[in-house]
Amino acid sequence: MVEKIGHIKNPLTVIAIFAALAEVSGTVVLPFLDKEIQHVYVWFLMCFPILLVAIFFFVLYKKHHVLYAPTDFKDDKTFTDLFENATSSAKFAKINSEQEDPIAEPTADTQARQEQPTVATNPSISAAETLRRSFQGNGLLAEELVIAKLARDLGLKFDRNLAVKGQPKLVFDAVSTSSDRAVVAEVRFTRLGNVPDPILSEYFERVKRFSETLPDELKNKIEFIFALATDTDEEFRLKRMDKTIEKIRTYSEAYSFKTVVRLFKMQDLEREFSVQ
């Protein structure tokens, strides 16, 4: 009979056994205590399970993965079922939170387009040209081109605009997953050449929060690609971007996951992918 009892490997089982033993032993001891002490002891027996349940749900909310043993997972090395498509509202909220102020950074190219007289005709306009007419549109075009470039260079298949299951606010521009590897890509279109510290922190904290939901075996299998894209040729802004890249690389040293920082020029991307 004893041989049929397996080893206790699940933290939930340990908690359940501990709670049961505490309550049973407490109830058995109660009649042997002095009446003066019994009053206090009864309150302890009532409050203890409430406290235990409160702590349990606190841990469940903050770090639910620590309550499960490795054997509770279907596969100890799988990222493929951790993501789902992000909602439109979550994606738009992410875009708006990361967007620079386009009023503060017009380029010579955009100024030239704005100064051109309006022609009273109905010419054919490409999708890329339509996107270029707004800063947010440039950002969306940059996102598409950069992810296509990364997929080609790295030989990966990226899924777009994914959220972590159970955490819809953890949205990433692109994710490539395999059985034991996850590559998370974030693209930031910029003309100013810098990334404010609060926004930079938010990029890394999103990846960190994702890694905290994983078993220990998978935490070192995450790769983060931080891609900057720009359409400016102004030398002082490009130099500022070089400093920003060094800043991001230094910032990434505080995190356990591997981080790669790359800069892409829109002109090169549009030429490579024959964007009209």
pLDDT in tens, 161-189: 888 887 888 889 999 988 778 999 999 99
Higher pLDDT, residue 17 or 173: 173
Torsion, Cα 208 258 162 76, to 10 degrees, reads -80
Q: What local confidence, expressed as pLDDT, does residue 222 receive?
A: 92
Taking 70 as the threshold, does the pLDDT of residue 110 lie above it? no
Taking 70 as the threshold, does the pLDDT of residue 13 lie above it? yes
Asked if 230 and 266 touch (Cβ cutoff 8 Å), the reply is yes
For the chain, give every residue range classified as CATH 3.40.1350.10. 83-272
Taking 70 as the threshold, does the pLDDT of residue 208 lie above it? yes
Element (H, E) at 172: strand 167-178
Average pLDDT, the chain: 79
Give how far Cα 256 sits from Cα of 11, 42, 140, 176, 206, Å.
25, 47, 29, 19, 13
SS3 at position 7: coil
Give Cα 59 distance to the centre of its chain.
21
Q: What local confidence, expressed as pLDDT, does residue 127 receive?
A: 58
83-272 fold: Trna Endonuclease; Chain: A, domain 1 (3.40.1350)
Q: What local confidence, expressed as pLDDT, does residue 87 receive?
A: 77
SS3 at position 29: helix
Q: How far apart (Å, rounded) are the C-alpha atoms in residues 208 and 17? A: 33
Q: How far apart (Å, rounded) are the C-alpha atoms in residues 19 and 107? A: 66
pLDDT by residue (tens digit) across 84-95?
Answer: 888 777 777 776
Q: What local confidence, expressed as pLDDT, does residue 78 receive?
A: 63
